Amino acid sequence: MQKPEASSITSSRNGGEGEVRAFLESLTGPSRGNVNWLVDKTLTVSVDDERVLSLRPRDDLPPHDNDIATLQWADEGYTITASAGRNVWVNGQNASSVSLRHGDMIEFGEKGPMSRYRLCDHSFPARHTFEDILSDAYAYTRTSRRPFAEKMSGALRDSGRRLASQTTILFRITVLATLLVIAGFGYLLYQNDRRLADSIEQESRKIEAVAVMLAQTREDALTPDDLVSLRDAFENQVLSTEQRLGTLEQRAGAPTRVIAASTRSVAFLQGAYGLRHVESGKILRHVLGPNGENQRTPFGQPWIEPDGTGEPAEFQFTGTGFLIAGVPLMATNRHVALPWTSGNREKALSDAGLEPEMLRLLAYLPDQTKPIEARLVRFSEAADLAILAVETSRVQDLGIPLADATSRVGEELYLLGYPTGLKALIAQAGPGFLEDLEAEGTLNFWSIASRLSAQSKIHPLASRGIVARTSGSAIVYDAETTTGGSGGPALNRRGEVVAISAAILPEFGGSNIGVPVSQLRALLGEVESQ
């Protein structure tokens, strides 16, 4: 705030010398924020071409073209009188002469400027109150003849400036502290909202990732509808896809010696993995209800959480593997030994903050009534291959030799495996086994395989095909198989492994892709060099 000029004080002749009766504070124009102190009894008000407001004692200078009004002190207040031919507005009203009251808004001329008139009780007001500043802003917006948007922006801008410069130090500190507190709360709310959004996003990713895993589990699991379909096939004497695959050996005339010699070394793989929450280090478990039952989400999916109190959530799968002659090792696909690596599952799990962990991996061999625990030894980064370790004493004198040469186009080969998993095994076991399952009402993923093994009803299916194309990374053939047959051996006429079944290409007339045995030999070399 400006101090009154010395000339204004000393020029006061009609009142007590140095007495400040009132002041005008410019709210618009180039002089915005300046204060003109009213000391003399009679003053002339001028506005130049730049809209700068100035006051002078009336007797100091002769009249000037820029003079717009005079101020005359009388009865404890000033009266403003417009000069001839000039316009002055007081509180929005055009006035030729009017007695001013404390707080009046005066607009000098068509284009301003606008000032606020205040009495100051013959002393210099050091500061303005918060109420005064807001009152000025309100009066300005109410009385100004400018466009609404322009006067609103001006009022806000001027009020902010005055609050920052014309209020007491204590008030400014209080306002600053309040703003800091509000900013602090705003930051905390922002961080909390961000954490909540991250939590919701991660939970959404977790649900999406779990749904992807469950989709694979449903492919390998048995449902009551599956049993009904199998029973209908038996009753109607119709061979299902699973049974048809089992009879291809006889229909195609595949050499009995090759099939018989290799069957005992081809294993039905059954496994389950869980998901560990990376942040907490806990494995996802089922959330239990009041009666101990597994709860489900509103979307019908199993409700699993790191803090669940039920059993670990299992994501089940099946596949095929085969023993390698001369070593107590089993070969299969990487996507069988590490089922979460197929497709985009691994990325979905990582984005959801989850880490897969194998819970159980069993290998069922024909003619053996108990499963063998299997353990991943090594997998290939370049090819869809993995090697499992099994108990040496259980696999003595078993294994299929690996071919030395690559297959040629047109060569006949024989594919062994467990396509469609448990469904094919139940179909092969016959209607009696199916009737027992229906009578017991159990479809447990683990107990069905255990019962099949105990009754010596686990045997691979065989199919014949012709090699259509070969390369260093893949062999394409038309031997029939489907999901669950991955990891099975493709044999030549000498009973040697020439490829490992890896993928199905139904869009190309049922063609399938196998990984050449040379890739398996390279992976075995890595294991032996460990």
Average pLDDT taken over every residue of the chain: 80
Q: Is the pLDDT of residue 402 over 80?
A: yes
Among the residue ranges 74-83, 159-168, 301-310, 483-492, the one predicted with the least confidence is 159-168
Q: Within this chain, do residues 156 and 283 fall inside the same structural domain, yes or no?
A: no
- Please give the radius of gyration of the chain, using alpha carbons only, rounded to the nearest integer: 47
- The domain that contains 11 carries what CATH number? 2.60.200.20
User: Is residue 138, in this structure, part of any structural domain at all?
Assistant: yes
Among the residue ranges 54-63, 192-201, 292-301, 302-311, the one predicted with the least confidence is 192-201
Q: Within this chain, do residues 425 and 523 fall inside the same structural domain, yes or no?
A: yes
Q: Within this chain, do residues 153 and 55 fall inside the same structural domain, yes or no?
A: yes
pLDDT of residue 18: 56
* 182/190 Cα distance (integer angstroms): 12
pLDDT of residue 134: 75
Of the residues 167, 185, 203, which one is the last residue of a structural domain?
167
Domain range holding 301? 214-528
pLDDT of residue 425: 87
Beta strands at 88-90 and 78-82: parallel, antiparallel or unpaired: unpaired
Confidence band, pLDDT 50/70/90 cuts, at residue 11:
very low
Q: Is the pLDDT of residue 323 over 90?
A: yes
Q: Within this chain, do residues 140 and 248 fall inside the same structural domain, yes or no?
A: no
* 231/228 Cα distance (integer angstroms): 5
* 481/458 Cα distance (integer angstroms): 17
Q: Is the pLDDT of residue 89 over 80?
A: yes
Q: Within its chain, how far is the Cα of 266 from the centroid?
A: 43
Q: Within this chain, do residues 153 and 239 fall inside the same structural domain, yes or no?
A: no
Average pLDDT over residues 360-386: 94
Q: Is the pLDDT of residue 433 over 80?
A: yes
Confidence band, pLDDT 50/70/90 cuts, at residue 498:
very high
Q: Within this chain, do residues 229 and 126 fall inside the same structural domain, yes or no?
A: no
* 415/466 Cα distance (integer angstroms): 11
- The domain that contains 490 carries what CATH number? 2.40.10.120
Q: Within this chain, do residues 114 and 222 fall inside the same structural domain, yes or no?
A: no
Q: What is the pTM of this model?
A: 0.60
Q: Structurally, how many domains does the chain consist of?
A: 2
User: Is residue 186, in this structure, part of any structural domain at all?
Assistant: no
* 271/359 Cα distance (integer angstroms): 8
3-class SS of residue 357? strand
Which residue would you say has higher pLDDT here, 406 or 23?
23
User: Is residue 286, in this structure, part of any structural domain at all?
Assistant: yes
Percent with pLDDT over 90 in the chain: 30
Provide the β-strand partners of residue 467: 477
Q: Is the pLDDT of residue 383 over 80?
A: yes
Q: Within this chain, do residues 158 and 16 fall inside the same structural domain, yes or no?
A: yes
Confidence band, pLDDT 50/70/90 cuts, at residue 8:
very low
pLDDT of residue 356: 92
User: Is residue 501, in this structure, part of any structural domain at all?
Assistant: yes
pLDDT of residue 160: 73
Among the residue ranges 104-108, 233-237, 253-257, 433-437, the one predicted with the least confidence is 233-237
Encode pLDDT of 340-368 as tens digits.
987 777 888 888 888 999 999 999 999 89
Q: Is the Cβ–Cβ distance between 391 and 372 less than 8 Å?
A: yes
Most confident stretch, 97-111, 244-258, 374-388, 475-489: 374-388
Secondary structure of 452-502 in the HEC alphabet? HHHCCCCCCEEEEEEEEEECCCCEEECCCCCCCCCCCEEECCCCCEEEEEE
Q: Is the Cβ–Cβ distance between 517 and 524 less than 8 Å?
A: no
Confidence band, pLDDT 50/70/90 cuts, at residue 257:
confident
pLDDT of residue 322: 97
Encode pLDDT of 266-278 as tens digits.
999 999 999 999 9
- Token pair 């466009």 in the structure block, residue: 147
Average pLDDT over residues 498-517: 77
pLDDT of residue 328: 93
pLDDT of residue 263: 94
* 365/371 Cα distance (integer angstroms): 7
Encode pLDDT of 115-131 as tens digits.
989 887 655 555 566 66
Name the helix (H) or strand (E) containing 414.
strand 412-417
Q: Within this chain, do residues 155 and 221 fall inside the same structural domain, yes or no?
A: no
Encode pLDDT of 197-216 as tens digits.
666 566 556 555 565 555 55
pLDDT of residue 217: 60
Q: Within this chain, do residues 156 and 254 fall inside the same structural domain, yes or no?
A: no
Say which residues have a Cβ less than 8 Å from residue 475's Cβ, sequence separation at least 6.
406, 407, 467, 469, 490, 498, 499, 513, 514, 515, 516
Q: Is the Cβ–Cβ distance between 386 and 379 less than 8 Å?
A: yes
* 114/45 Cα distance (integer angstroms): 13
Confidence band, pLDDT 50/70/90 cuts, at residue 4:
very low
User: Is residue 129, in this structure, part of any structural domain at all?
Assistant: yes
pLDDT of residue 19: 73
Confidence band, pLDDT 50/70/90 cuts, at residue 16:
very low
pLDDT of residue 227: 59
Q: Within this chain, do residues 158 and 219 fall inside the same structural domain, yes or no?
A: no
Q: Is the pLDDT of residue 443 over 90?
A: no
User: Is residue 77, in this structure, part of any structural domain at all?
Assistant: yes
Q: Is the pLDDT of residue 437 over 90?
A: no
Of the residues 167, 189, 205, which one is the last residue of a structural domain?
167
pLDDT of residue 206: 59
User: Is residue 415, in this structure, part of any structural domain at all?
Assistant: yes
User: Is residue 277, in this structure, part of any structural domain at all?
Assistant: yes
Amino acid at 282: K
Q: Within this chain, do residues 336 and 475 fall inside the same structural domain, yes or no?
A: yes
